[in-house]
């Protein structure tokens, strides 16, 4: 397929804001894609080059992109940076300067989607001496052959910033429209379940051609990341029982990061976060615990890794232990300084069999049989099963006294639904309300906070879009030793800057933060139509991305209940 044909689809998607229109555009494109030999093109529709379960990253910085643009167009890096500051989008810069170049040069060879994928898929594997030059050569080869429009989308794909507004839900619906009747409810469910268990749109699309029965055969594969089940909030014990039913399971909610333990048939153990990142290398201690304490040749087990103090043995807040997730060096040193305990609460695959559709009470019994509990290594989540409100309330108070975040409340008969806040389980936390939101803008401070980014615009999600719900400038510290500081946040946000307007900057929506607030009010100032009152950032959530943030519906729910 010509890459220009794909770019035409990008253009149409970018200019149509309606989800229905986007779905129609994608569906028509997918009908044509059926006849293409390579179905990997479907990854490019979301600005990716690999399946979602594959956490290899392109690893290209804005500086390297500007150098590649300079090499392919002959324009100086300084001029390119000026255009970037004005337009706030290196894709638009690439389109602009490539158009100027094309006016004075002969047309180059025509790009294919296959060629774009081949070059981009080579980038993550490059490392060691001469890596930068090799990456530059692969990118420049594409840009030299690209039309202005193609250059725009090559650059945006490199920077994981496609800007066409197609979320997973839109792509799912488009696959249904392309392969089934639009009104076939079973098809929507089959496509979603196939994706939830495989996290691979190419595989799902190929199976969809063959019908619902083929989609339903999609199974879990140990060693391949799967999306975790998510949990909406409840405010109190009455709501907990109303939603989860009686009796229900109540478990401690621990302040750690979600981890899926995978053991393949060959004995290899892999660890994945809720963002599908493979963190096996960062946690050799956890690999050892799994080998020593969990029976079975193959499994996928859901749990939480919680940090604890090596001396006092008391649990430590997530913010302290989170630095181990991204660390590539000094792993042994950190293992001693920031040890973790793995707390398990669900199993979805064991010894060649999927337990996704088995009731939770059965899955818990399997865990109890196969896990040898060892304090400070591997334990099961502390749990009670009750239909008594006083007993549940007492257990909640116990969790709080022991420094936990609250309780998880689970329907005993419920299956496991990867990737969904379906309502099979709930999180019950103290009255202090909080949401996970993503930072989209920031402002430089003044006075003693000059040079730091100190005011942050945060947004929720809605149908693939990000909607602002206010600004937050409290919760961070001026001194680094006191906790999450303005200086640290500034370091994190600066590489993500897309555009500067005076003191305000727009950033790529990559940094998810936990924001507590007093209540919610209506506000025409922000695109969500709501604003958080007295918001405060309590932590960064490196284990979460924009798919995990609060939705507009959750904001509305809290507003009505407030």
By annotation, the residues acting in catalysis are 253
Q: What are residue 278's DSSP bridge partners?
A: 272
Residue with tokens 């006849």: 35
- CA torsion, points 206, 211, 214, 218, in degrees to nearest 10? 60
Cα(first)–Cα(last) distance of the chain, in Å? 53
d(CA 364, CA 396): 20
What's the count of helices (H) and strands (E) in the chain, helices before strands? Answer: 22, 20
Asked whether the bond before 247 is cis by omega within 30 degrees of 0, the reply is yes
Q: DSSP class of residue 481?
A: G
Write out 143-195 in H/E/C secondary structure. HHHCCHHHHHHHHHHHCCCCCCCCCHHHHHHHHHHHHCCCCCHHHHHHHHHHH
Alpha-carbon dihedral sign for residues 376, 328, 158, 539: positive
Contact 530, 559 (CB under 8 A): yes
d(CA 153, CA 117): 13
d(CA 491, CA 489): 5
Q: What are residue 505's DSSP bridge partners?
A: 442, 500
Contact 59, 123 (CB under 8 A): yes
> What are the start-end ranges of the H helices in 304-345?
318-321, 323-326, 331-337
Q: What is the DSSP string of 447-460?
A: GGGBTSEEEEEEEE
């Amino acid at each position: 397929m010509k890459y220009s044909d794909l770019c035409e689809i990008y253009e149409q998607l970018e200019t149509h804001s309606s989800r229905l229109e986007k779905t129609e555009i994608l569906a028509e494109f997918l009908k044509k894609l059926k006849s293409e030999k390579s179905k990997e093109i479907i990854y490019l529709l979301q600005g990716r080059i690999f399946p979602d379960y594959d956490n290899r990253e392109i690893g290209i910085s804005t500086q390297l992109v500007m150098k590649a643009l300079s090499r392919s167009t002959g324009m100086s890096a300084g001029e390119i940076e000026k255009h970037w500051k004005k337009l706030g989008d290196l894709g638009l810069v690439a389109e602009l300067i490539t158009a100027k170049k094309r006016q004075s040069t002969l047309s180059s060879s025509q790009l294919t989607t296959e060629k774009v994928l081949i070059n981009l898929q080579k980038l993550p594997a490059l490392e060691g001496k001469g890596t930068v030059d090799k990456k530059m050569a692969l990118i420049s080869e594409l840009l030299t052959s690209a039309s202005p429009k193609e250059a725009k989308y090559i650059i945006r794909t490199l920077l994981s910033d496609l800007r066409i507004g197609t979320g997973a839900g839109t792509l799912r619906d488009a696959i249904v429209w392309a392969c089934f009747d639009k009104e076939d409810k079973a098809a929507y469910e089959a496509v979603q379940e196939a994706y939830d268990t495989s996290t691979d749109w190419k595989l799902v699309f190929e199976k969809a051609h063959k019908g619902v029965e083929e989609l339903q055969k999609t199974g879990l594969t140990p060693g391949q990341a799967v999306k975790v089940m998510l949990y909406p909030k409840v405010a109190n014990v009455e709501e907990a029982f109303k939603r989860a039913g009686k009796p229900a399971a109540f478990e401690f909610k621990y302040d750690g990061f979600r981890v899926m333990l995978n053991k393949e048939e060959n004995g290899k153990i892999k660890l994945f976060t809720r963002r599908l990142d493979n963190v096996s290398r960062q946690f050799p201690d956890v690999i050892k615990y799994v080998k020593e304490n969990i029976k079975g040749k193959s499994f996928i087990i859901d749990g939480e890794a919680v940090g604890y103090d090596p001396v006092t043995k008391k649990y430590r807040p997530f913010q302290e232990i989170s630095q181990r997730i991204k660390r590539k060096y000094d792993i042994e040193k950190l293992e001693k300084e920031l040890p973790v305990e793995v707390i398990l609460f669900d199993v979805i695959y064991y010894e060649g069999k999927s337990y996704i559709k088995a009731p939770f009470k059965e899955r818990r019994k399997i865990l109890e049989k196969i896990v040898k509990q060892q304090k400070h290594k591997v334990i099961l989540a502390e749990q009670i099963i009750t239909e008594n409100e006083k007993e549940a309330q007492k257990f909640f108070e116990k969790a709080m006294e022991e420094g936990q975040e609250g309780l998880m409340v689970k329907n005993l008969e419920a299956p496991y639904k990867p990737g969904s806040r379906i309502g099979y389980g709930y999180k019950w936390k103290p009255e202090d309300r909080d949401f996970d939101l993503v930072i989209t803008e920031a402002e430089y401070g003044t006075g003693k906070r000059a040079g730091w980014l100190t005011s942050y615009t945060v947004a929720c999600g809605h149908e693939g879009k990000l909607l602002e719900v206010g600004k937050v400038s409290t919760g961070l510290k001026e001194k680094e030793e006191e906790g999450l500081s303005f200086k640290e946040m500034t370091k994190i946000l600066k590489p993500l800057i897309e555009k500067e307007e005076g003191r305000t900057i727009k950033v790529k929506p990559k940094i998810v933060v936990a924001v507590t607030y007093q209540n919610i009010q209506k506000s025409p100032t922000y695109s969500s139509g709501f604003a958080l009152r007295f918001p405060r950032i309590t932590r960064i959530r490196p284990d979460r991305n924009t798919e995990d943030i609060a939705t507009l519906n959750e904001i509305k729910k809290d507003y009505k209940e407030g």
